[in-house]
Chains A and B, each alone.
Chain A
């Protein structure tokens, strides 16, 4: 059946190419005269947001009338749907159109169905009440003899589907796992992946079928199954150790260039596949010497092969390094990986430098000397113009703080804090500074001063534990009675001074701390 469809399809282009090529520039020209084209040009011509609102509201009213009119054909509906998507993208509400999107997917021909499904995937969300209406259409399309319709149904299922209705389509999709066409098998696997994400217990019984997908003769289907395996292994790696050999073999084949040339991306064989396999191996080899031993060879080869200077090679290298550090350690591999990290950190390319710093942060526990090797670069990065690099460096320094360098590091952190406006960063950093101050404070004065700085910047967004711990610390004190007295005295004095300063605004929590300290400790 599909052969006949294919033959028909291949015969058709000759008929149509004279008038319109598929997609491409001719397609664009056609769109210029479309209603969407008119709308877009209309918007672009306007200069103010107010005018845009007016125009869109006009458009939406006219669309609302059209979609509800009984005389509107499906073809017109498709055209309206595109404009509705556009309006929603600009931020306006077009919810009156949602039901019509579903109807379009249900009743339309291929062309219209495609737009209908697209609209549904963009308009609705998982818990939307209208989503249930889609299920019948999906069931019908899954059983269609037209493969394109089957593909569309599988695509929509992988994007958005009501969890309660999974049993209605599950057998149909399972069936597709054995379809002769690899595109169908691949999409079926991804639909099941989606089900695994939203309702894992519903797909428990078909794990055996995933194994078949893993051994599928088509690379695409096999690669799709890896998404499911990654999740399952993440949750329970011990259940899948027996597959380690298979994953290693597949990776060996990919790295060795045994895949069809089609799968190369800029001369690198199937990079996404390599990375997915590396991540899986990283999970399987963790804390497990025997399993890790199975992968040393292929990891070594991956590290060696990634010689080209393309971004994608760096991506694979980085993942390799990550895996080498996750699994049971092997010194030769660790050495090579460390060299790689070094190259990243010293790279003039800023993205790679960022990743080098990140890698250092990750490996710092296992290999503290590596950071020392690159300390010059790290210090330079502290003053880098890019705030992202600076922050990553501070992350790294936070992990190597000790009693000797705490003053410098905390000072740099406070500097960064003062120029940061993002709440998330402030909360995070304030927490870290408080922790370091408590752990490594060289003397009382510094401790109180630092905590004061933390309170004034962290203010009301910081975690309540911070001021609470601080107050508790002052109340309970350390072992040395005289030290405690001095600490408290210093605290009380400094707060009295601060409160005396006029025209200064202190955050609420800071004021609370100050008042508590002065009230309870000044005797």
Chain B
């Protein structure tokens, strides 16, 4: 996979993960153009695009578009499942995930994504293993800084 973008129906970027080295300028240009192209697609159309020399696979979940770019190797369908699996992971972690969860906790969304896809490739681990790895790290966080819990509630 070359990159994954998450954006809202208004075209606001919520998450961007790039697996290929590109300059900031190029990234911005690609993001801008791709978002426009995907938003222009109608619901009944194919969720695969050929855009420049890339293949784009996208899927909309409620108000969020998940958009992946893959190299030409005919992996469109399985990429759709990668997106779906990522959504399942987010759902399990946040408990009925919605766009707000991703906006306000985007760093957690990134952590989950990095456990699931490493270097653009799927780490074939069961859903259980991915979430366990995140939870272990989360627990360690809590263990290390018990005072943060009180701070969050505003008691310090």
Q: Do A and B come from one complex?
A: yes
- Residues of chain A touching chain B, judged by Cβ–Cβ distance below 8 Å, are 8-9, 12-13, 16, 19-20, 22-25, 27-28, 30-34, 36-37, 40, 75, 82, 85-86, 89-91, 93, 109-111, 114-115, 118, 121-122, 125-127, 146, 148, 151, 155, 158-159, 183, 186-187, 190, 193-194, 197, 219-220, 223-224, 227, 260, 262-265, 270-273, 275-276, 279, 311-312, 314-316, 318-319, 322, 350-351, 353-355, 358, 362, 385-386, 388-389, 391, 422, 424
Bound Cα distance from A309 to B20, whole angstroms: 34
Point out the residues of chain B lying under 8 angstroms from A28, CB to CB: 94, 100-101, 104-105
On chain A, the residues within 8 Å of B23 by CB distance are 125
Cα of A155 to Cα of B119 in the assembled complex, Å: 9
The contact sample of 26 A-B pairs, CB cut-off 8 A, is A12-B142, A13-B139, A16-B149, A24-B94, A25-B94, A28-B94, A28-B105, A37-B104, A110-B140, A110-B141, A114-B137, A118-B111, A125-B21, A148-B137, A148-B140, A155-B118, A190-B121, A224-B124, A265-B85, A275-B78, A279-B73, A353-B46, A355-B74, A355-B76, A355-B77, A386-B46
| Contact between chains at A351 and B74 (CB < 8 Å) | no
Question: Taking the nearest CB of chain B, how far is it from the CB of A282, in angstroms?
Answer: 11
Among residues of B, the one whose C-beta sits closest to the C-beta of A322 is B74
Nearest-neighbour CB distance to chain A for B125, whole angstroms, equals 5
Measured CA separation A363–B12 after assembly (Å) = 41
B45 touches A12 (CB 8 A): no
Contacts of B51 in A (CB 8 A): 422, 424
Q: Are A354 and B141 in contact (CB-based, < 8 A)?
A: no
Which 3 pairs show the lowest CB-CB distances between chains A and B? Answer: A262-B126, A315-B77, A223-B124
Chain A residues near B21 (CB-CB < 8 A): 125-127
Q: Is the CB of B77 within 8 A of A318?
A: yes
What's the nearest-Cβ distance from chain B to residue A340, in Å?
Answer: 13
A389 close to B81 (CB less than 8 A): no
Interface 1/0s, chain B 2-22, versus A by CB < 8 A?
000000000011111101011
In the assembled complex, the Cα of A132 lies from the Cα of B142 at a distance in Å of 31
Distance between Cα atoms of A318 and B78 in the complex (Å): 10
Instruction: Give Cα A362–Cα B74 distance, bound, in whole angstroms.
Output: 10
- In the complex, A36→B85 CA distance in Å? 27
A424 / chain B contacts, CB cutoff of 8 Å: 51-53
Q: How far is the CB of A152 from chain B (nearest CB, A)?
A: 8
* Residue contact B136 to A9, C-beta cutoff 8 Å: yes
Residue pair A224, B123 in contact (C-beta under 8 Å): yes
Q: Cβ of A89 and Cβ of B13 under 8 Å apart?
A: yes
Complex Cα distance A318/B76, Å?
10
How far does the Cβ of A317 sit from chain B's closest Cβ, in whole Å?
Answer: 9
Q: Give the residue name and chain of the B residue nearest to A19 (CB).
A: B149
Task: Return chain A residues, CB-CB under 8 Å to B140.
Answer: 9, 110, 146, 148
Given A24-B94, A351-B77, the answer on whether A272 and B100 have CB atoms closer than 8 Å is no
Nearest-Cβ distance from residue B3 to partner chain A, whole angstroms:
12
Contact B107 A22 (CB under 8 A): no
Q: If A31-B104, A109-B145, A114-B111 touch, does A23 touch B77 (CB 8 Å cutoff)?
A: no
- Given A19-B149, A190-B118, CB of A89 within 8 Å of CB of B77: no
Please give the distance in Å from B23's CB to the nearest CB on chain A: 8
Query: Mostly helix, strand, loop or mixed at chain B's interface?
Result: helix
Q: Which residue of A lies closest to B147 (CB)?
A: A75
Contacts of B115 in A (CB 8 A): 155
Partner of B80 from A22, A25, A110, A311 at Cβ < 8 Å? A311
Give the residue of B101, B124, B153 whose beta carbon is less than 8 angstroms from that of A219.
Answer: B124
Asked, given contacts A155-B118, A220-B129, whether A111 binds B145 with beta carbons under 8 Å apart, the answer is: yes
Partner of A354, one of B48, B123, B133, B136: B48
How far does the alpha carbon of A262 sit from the alpha carbon of B130 in the complex, in Å? 11
A20 and B137 contact, CB distance less than 8 A: no
For chain B, residues 94 to 115, give those with C-beta under 8 angstroms from any C-beta of chain A.
Answer: 94-95, 100-101, 103-108, 110-111, 114-115
Contact B49 A388 (CB under 8 A): yes
| Contact call B50/A391, Cβ cutoff below 8 A | yes
Of the candidates B78, B121, B148, which one forms a contact with A312 in the assembled complex, judged by CB atoms under 8 Å apart? B78
**Given known A148-B136, A271-B81, A275-B75, contact A22–B142 (CB-CB < 8 A):** yes
Most buried by A among B13, B47, B136, B145: B136
The interface centre, meaning the residue of B17, B50, B103, B125 with most chain A CB atoms within 10 A of its CB, is B125
Question: B143: CB under 8 A from chain A?
Answer: yes
Given A109-B145, A125-B22, A183-B133, answer yes or no on A318-B74 (Cβ-Cβ < 8 Å): yes
Q: Which residues of A contact B17 (CB under 8 A)?
A: 122
A315–B122 Cα distance when bound, in Å, is: 15
What would 14 more interface pairs be, CB under 8 Å, given A85-B106, A122-B110, A148-B136? Answer: A16-B142, A20-B142, A23-B108, A25-B94, A30-B152, A118-B110, A146-B140, A155-B118, A224-B124, A271-B78, A316-B78, A350-B45, A388-B49, A424-B52
- Taking a contact as CB atoms under 8 Å apart, the answer to whether B138 and A40 are in contact is no
Docked CA distance A118–B112 (Å): 11
Q: Which residue of B lies closest to A21 (CB)?
A: B95
Q: B135 to A22, Cβ gap below 8 A?
A: yes
By a CB distance below 8 angstroms, the chain A residues around B133 are 151, 183
A109–B93 Cα distance when bound, in Å, is 23
CA distance A40 to B76 in the complex (A): 34
A22 contacts which chain B residues (CB < 8 A)? 135, 138-139, 142
Q: In the docked arrangement, what's the CA distance between A482 and B62, Å?
A: 67
Interface centre among B73, B119, B122 (most CB of A within 10 A): B119
How distant is the Cα of A279 from the Cα of B127 in the complex, in angstroms? 23
Minimum CB–CB distance from B114 to chain A (whole Å) comes to 6
Contacts of A9 on B, CB cut-off 8 Å? 136, 139-140, 143
- Chain A residues, Cβ within 8 Å of B28: 91
A31 surroundings in chain B (CB, below 8 A): 104-105
Q: Which A residue's beta carbon lies closest to that of B134?
A: A23
Q: Mark B24-57, 1 if CB is under 8 A from A, else 0.
A: 1000100000000000001011111111110000
Q: For the complex, what is the distance from the CA of A183 to the CA of B133, rounded to whole Å?
A: 8
> Are B114 and A354 in touch, CB under 8 angstroms?
no
Q: Which of B15, B81, B128 has the most chain A CB atoms inside 10 A of its CB?
A: B81
Q: Kindly provide the distance from the CB of B55 to the nearest chain A CB, expressed in whole angstroms.
A: 10
